[in-house]
Amino acid sequence: MFIGIDLGGTKIEGVVLDDAYRVCFRERRPTRRHEGYDRIVEGVAEMFAVCCQAAGGRPPVVGIGTPGSVSLSDGTMKNCNTTCLNGRPLQRDLEQALGTKVVLENDANLFAWAEARLGAATGYEVVFGVILGTGVGGGIVWQGKIWPGAHRLAGEWGHHRIVEQGPPCYCGDYGCVETLIAGPAVEAYAEKERGFYAPLAEVVRAARQGEAGARRVIDHFLECFGRALANVINIVDPSCVVLGGGVSNIDELYTHGRDAVARHVFGGEFSAPILRHQLGDSAGVIGAALLAAESEHRA
């Protein structure tokens, strides 16, 4: 049995996989990040205990997906949109709290890896996995392995600046992709355009029904998506792109969004598929369990 945990901005999810990588158990609980770092560590420990009970024992290693990444210089977390994690020795603290070896990996990397191994992107040599949700992340899988980059920044397209005077980002910059196409960002833009707040699903529905303001919002969203993803494609040139996260359920991403990408790709030729995830919104936590399995097999 292999245990994986996904530490998200709104939820902590745990999963138990059997030796054939089938899901035997899955549980979700609120992250409660507003209560701070110590509460998050406690929440992960509580989830691990529940998963151990379901697995019938304590494994020698657990894989955990997190926002951001581990600093190569001092082992603390960096670049996390759950900002209370930044600068904290999360791996050390989790190993103390869980009483077992912990391997950490960026959540978008794990999403891409799970979809490449078990999901929509199986069989593709170079996979760019995209998370569109409360934030925007990305991960690169090359020949079946996560490609983290020299500074563990590979795939972080959410912090490309694509609008010079755009909205402020928690990273300290302005006009980052995340400030334009993440779910809350689109909702904020829609509120400004329409004069009132509505959840993104309602904005999409209104656009499909022909409301002019909602249509402008979705057109802007798709154009920003296309411009941003084309920048990645011009550099990485992946065999496929696979989308995950709640915002990825907007059908127009796979039609008009793809057209927007093609308009901005260098040379105008873009044949790689943009795929919808197959593993659902649990791809990241499944990737975390695969990480545990790989670590255990290497031991």
Q: Could you report the per-residue pLDDT of 98-132, keeping only the tens digit for each?
A: 999 999 999 999 999 999 999 999 999 999 999 99
Are 52 and 102 in the same domain?
A: yes
pLDDT of residue 15: 97
Flag whether 115 is in a domain.
no
Q: Residue 293: give the domain boundaries.
A: 2-110+281-298
E strand or H helix at 276: strand 274-276
Q: In 3-state terms, what secondary structure has residue 56?
A: coil
Nearest to 272 by CA among 91, 51, 100, 120: 120
Residues 72 and 204 grouped into a single domain: no
- The pLDDT of residue 299 is 62
Same domain, 155 and 264: yes
**pLDDT recorded at residue 191:** 98
H or E segment at 142? Answer: strand 136-142
The answer to whether residues 270 and 290 belong to one domain is no
For the record, the structure tokens of 49 come out as 């205990």
- The H or E element containing residue 94 is helix 90-98
- Average pLDDT (45-51) is 97
189 and 103 housed in the same domain: no
Q: What is the mean pLDDT of the chain?
A: 95
Q: Flag whether 286 is in a domain.
A: yes
Q: Is residue 147 part of a domain?
A: yes
Residue 116 lies in a domain: no
Residues 144 and 260 in one domain: yes
Band of pLDDT at residue 9, cut at 50, 70 and 90? confident
CATH assignment of the domain containing 38: 3.30.420.40
The CA-atom distances, in angstroms, between 228 and each of 14, 225, 260 are: 32, 5, 10
Residue 137 in tokens: 């992340």
Report the C-alpha gap between 297 and 155 in whole angstroms. 26
List all residues 6 or more positions away from 122 whose beta carbon is below 8 Å from its beta carbon. Answer: 115, 116
Average pLDDT over residues 148-170: 93
What confidence tens digit (pLDDT) does each residue in 199-210 have?
999 999 999 999
Model pLDDT, residue 250:
98
Is 208 found in the same domain as 77? Answer: no
Question: What band does 85 get if pLDDT is binned at 50, 70 and 90?
Answer: very high
Quick one: 179 and 149 in the same domain? yes
Pair 291, 298: CB distance under 8 Å: no
Any domain includes 164: yes
Helices 212-236 and 183-194, axial angle in degrees (round to 10): 150
Residue 118 counted as domain residue: no
Both 129 and 256 in one domain: the answer is yes
Q: 273 and 155: one domain?
A: yes
Distance CA 55, CA 49 (A): 10
Number of domains in the chain: 2
Asked whether residue 212 is domain-assigned, the answer is yes
CB 286 within 8 A of CB 118: yes
Decide: 3 and 48 in contact? Cβ < 8 Å. Answer: yes
Residue with tokens 């928690």: 170
Report which DSSP code applies to 168: B
> What phi, psi does 49 have (nearest 5°)?
-60, -40
**Do residues 287 and 228 both lie within one domain?**
no
Residue 75 has pLDDT above 80, yes or no: yes
Domain co-membership, 164 together with 34: no
Helix (H) or strand (E) holding 231, with range, is: helix 212-236
Evaluate whether 252 touches 222 at the Cβ level (below 8 Å): yes
What is the predicted pLDDT for the residue at 32? 86
| Sign of torsion over alpha carbons 155, 61, 38, 87 | negative
**pLDDT of 91:** 96
Q: Is the residue at 239 inside a domain?
A: yes
From the list 132, 126, 135, the residue with the least C-alpha distance to 241 is: 126
The vertex-108 CA angle with 253 and 278, nearest 5°, equals 55
